[in-house]
Copies of this chain bind each other. A is one copy, B any other.
Amino acid sequence: MTQKGLGVCYYPEHWPREMWASDVQRMADIGLTWVRIGEFAWSRIEPKPGQFEWAWLDQAVETLADAGLKIVLGTPTATPPRWMLSKHPDMLAVDAQGRPRKFGSRRHYCFSHEAYKKECARIVRLLAERYGDHPAICAWQTDNEYGCHDTTISYSDAARQGFQKWLAARYDNIAALNDAWGNVFWSMEYAAFDEVDLPNLTVTEANPAHQMAFRRFSSDQVVAFNKLQVDEIRAKSTAPVIHNYMGRITDFDHYQVAADLDIASWDSYPLGFLEDRIEADDEFKNQYLKQGHPDYQAFHHDLYRAVGRGRWWIMEQQPGPVNWAPYNPAPLPGMVRLWALEAFAHGAENVLYFRWRQAPFAQEQMHTGLYLPDDSPNVAANEAKQVAQDLSQLQADQIEPARVALIFDYESQWASEIQPQGQGFDYFDLVFHYYKALRRLGCNIDILPPNATNFGDYTVIFAPGVVTLTQAQQKALRESGAKVVLGPRTNAKTSEFSIPPALPPNFDGLPLKITNVESLRPSAGVALEKGQIRYWFEHIEGEVTPILNTEDGRPAIVEKDNLIYCAGWLDETALFNFVGALLGAVDIPIEHLPDGLRRRETSDHVVYLNYAPIAISHRDAEIPPAGVHFVRK
């Protein structure tokens, strides 16, 4: 069994060497066991092209190793030095408006630039050669937060050429592409692959099939970029390779990138995310201002457990106010501990805080760390120490298998961005909407990739909005033995982004077709007995049994055998009722939780997490704000 551990991200190159020993000593004192280093240090490792400075890094590694700390060594490819741009002036990504995205921050490269990829392979090879068998190098991190700052997609010349090659490989001949995309429409037919441009700056929207191809290509470029590094590392090292994904980055397929990794990790900034990537009203955001959204971290934990095929970490954990969200409050005392414990309850192997000491300079100077710039401890240092102590009680806890599965599919997200059909329709939101309803019922949930076909012991599987399901996937779902909840928008498109000839959902065993689709203004719902259908409502026909009708008598949810189809976006009330009844019907135990309280079951404990800003009484326990309450099973 893997030991659960705590760690921190550390930038020795930012500090005088005289401070290193004391830093490392204090890390050990707090109870940290892992330290991530190196991922932004290219200009210090190779200050001029081909001229290397290894001594400082050697010393940093030794200092950490001497204190018994385990190292995650990052490849520095997210921050190529300025001289790289002089060598490869066209290496920059280009934004959708056609403007090169300049040097002066980070992630200033295009994933399709072949020469830059060679430079990356070279630096990773040198690192792997030098440190690949060092006993303290216990893991590797490739690059940093692929896709952060909107960097997956580039409209550069390199991207265009890469796309044309990708298309040629996929379609073989241009007639096949024209046919697959329906280019007869609006006379968009091409005579050769090199006539196909990137789908930006078109007069009106480009063909959605064209857009989807470009999204797939862009995702594949990230996969290839990552694999190049993994291959170099594996040639010299047996330590596991990890990438640190960023929250709610969905432009590339995380499952596919992770297919080449040993472990997935993600960077968890609950307060930053609440402000900058979650839509909610003022009342909600004020309620959770200093705690973060009570389901958002858990969702990502469960997602990255899937991405990492069971193995996952938090590579960066928010320690206090950050610098990058629209508003940057301080966590409620206790939350820095709670967030870590929640991660462990969801199966994290390690949680690393970002960062050791707040840097007083450059872009992240307002991002706190465990220590302040004056080298005194900040609040998080104490909470981290507490977590280290808690951990000793939790080493035996293992993942408790879930009976409920929820599919999350990156391609479906691209589909909803390419063709929302109703303003604001967002696949991620749809899936998260289901996730929240299930969490309110106290369930453990497993997230699954769309190509899952082995459904083990799941009793209910939710697959709302999965844009395309192959025959094999349909068969696996149908024969899973579980209740399978489809719709809205499930299997609404073929793999080439067209409507299936027999009409959606086009699902074997479900005699149903969607004839008309309505997207609705947020204030114009379709009334149900309890709650409403909002944003999206499908008109359906077929030999199925209604489970729920609209007030005016049209089918809203229908079933046939173990297949259930939901023809709209149920609002919170309606979804909660539907999901609750369904879980009840298949005897999944549910527990109604007070506002702000969340529940996660491990092999040994039921863990209650209080995200509310006030104390909560539940089942004879009084749980303070930011409190974590363990009930031994």
A interface with B by C-beta (< 8 Å): 13-14, 40-44, 47-48, 76, 79-83, 86, 93, 97-108, 148-149, 151, 181-191, 195, 197, 199-210, 275, 282, 285-286, 289, 320-321, 323, 326-330, 358-366, 368, 372-374, 376, 378-379, 419, 421-423, 496-503, 513, 515-521, 523-524, 539
Report A552 CB to chain B, min CB distance, Å. 11
Q: List 14 A-B contacts (CB under 8 A).
A: A43-B188, A82-B189, A104-B199, A104-B203, A105-B202, A105-B205, A106-B203, A208-B362, A360-B498, A360-B499, A366-B419, A366-B421, A366-B517, A378-B515
Chain B residues lying within 8 Å of A379, measured Cβ to Cβ, are 516
Bound Cα distance A42, B97 (Å): 29
Bound Cα distance A422, B329 (Å): 9
State whether A86 touches B203 (Cβ < 8 A). no
Bound Cα distance A516, B104 (Å): 27
State whether A184 touches B44 (Cβ < 8 A). yes
Bound Cα distance A106, B518 (Å): 26
Chain B residues lying within 8 Å of A376, measured Cβ to Cβ, are 515
Bound Cα distance A434, B374 (Å): 31
Q: A105-B186, A187-B44 are in contact. Are A286 and B521 (CB under 8 A)?
A: yes
Report A377 CB to chain B, min CB distance, Å. 10
Bound Cα distance A105, B205 (Å): 6
Q: A184-B44, A197-B103, A374-B501 are in contact. Are A520 and B203 (CB under 8 A)?
A: no
Q: A105-B202, A195-B82 are in contact. Are A372 and B43 (CB under 8 A)?
A: no
Number of copies of chain A assembled together: 3
Bound Cα distance A378, B539 (Å): 11
Report A59 CB to chain B, min CB distance, Å. 16
Chain B residues lying within 8 Å of A326, measured Cβ to Cβ, are 422-423, 521
State whether B421 touches A203 (Cβ < 8 A). no
Question: A374 contacts which of B76, B187, B503 (Cβ < 8 Å)?
Answer: B503
Report A519 CB to chain B, min CB distance, Å. 5
Chain B residues lying within 8 Å of A185, measured Cβ to Cβ, are 14, 40, 359, 361-364
Report A286 CB to chain B, min CB distance, Å. 5
Q: A149-B204, A195-B86 are in contact. Are A188 and B362 (CB under 8 A)?
A: yes
Question: A421 contacts which of B188, B204, B323 (Cβ < 8 Å)?
Answer: B323
Report A407 CB to chain B, min CB distance, Å. 23
Chain B residues lying within 8 Å of A189, measured Cβ to Cβ, are 43-44, 47, 81-82
Closest to A498 in B: B361
Q: A108-B202, A365-B208 are in contact. Are A187 and B289 (CB under 8 A)?
A: no
Chain B residues lying within 8 Å of A13, measured Cβ to Cβ, are 184
State whether B362 touches A79 (Cβ < 8 A). no
Bound Cα distance A467, B324 (Å): 20
State whether B203 touches A101 (Cβ < 8 A). yes
Chain B residues lying within 8 Å of A100, measured Cβ to Cβ, are 201
Q: Give 3 nearest A-B pairs by CB, closest first.
A: A182-B361, A185-B362, A43-B187
Q: A82-B189, A519-B327 are in contact. Are A362 and B102 (CB under 8 A)?
A: no
Q: Which residue of A81, A82, A97, A185 has the most chain B CB atoms within 10 A of its CB atom? A: A185
Report A629 CB to chain B, min CB distance, Å. 24
Q: A86-B195, A501-B360 are in contact. Are A93 and B365 (CB under 8 A)?
A: no
State whether A362 touches B181 (Cβ < 8 A). yes
State whether B200 touches A102 (Cβ < 8 A). yes
Closest to A188 in B: B104
Chain B residues lying within 8 Å of A98, measured Cβ to Cβ, are 99
Bound Cα distance A203, B106 (Å): 7
Chain B residues lying within 8 Å of A86, measured Cβ to Cβ, are 195
State whether B187 touches A81 (Cβ < 8 A). yes
Chain B residues lying within 8 Å of A206, measured Cβ to Cβ, are 104-105, 363
Closest to A192 in B: B82
Chain B residues lying within 8 Å of A328, measured Cβ to Cβ, are 421-422, 517-519
Q: A188-B104, A361-B185, A365-B498 are in contact. Are A203 and B82 (CB under 8 A)?
A: no
Report A47 CB to chain B, min CB distance, Å. 7
Bound Cα distance A602, B185 (Å): 40
State whether B187 touches A76 (Cβ < 8 A). yes
Chain B residues lying within 8 Å of A210, measured Cβ to Cβ, are 104
State whether A203 touches B151 (Cβ < 8 A). yes
Question: A14 contacts which of B184, B205, B289, B360 (Cβ < 8 Å)?
Answer: B184
State whether B423 touches A327 (Cβ < 8 A). yes
Question: A320 contacts which of B76, B80, B197, B516 (Cβ < 8 Å)?
Answer: B516
Question: A524 contacts which of B43, B329, B362, B515 (Cβ < 8 Å)?
Answer: B329
Q: A286-B524, A327-B520, A366-B419 are in contact. Are A513 and B374 (CB under 8 A)?
A: yes
Report A165 CB to chain B, min CB distance, Å. 19
Closest to A100 in B: B201
Closest to A13 in B: B184
State whether A361 touches B209 (Cβ < 8 A). yes
State whether A149 touches B203 (Cβ < 8 A). yes
Bound Cα distance A94, B82 (Å): 24
State whether A363 touches B186 (Cβ < 8 A). yes
Bound Cα distance A97, B200 (Å): 15
State whether B502 touches A374 (Cβ < 8 A). yes
Chain B residues lying within 8 Å of A76, measured Cβ to Cβ, are 187
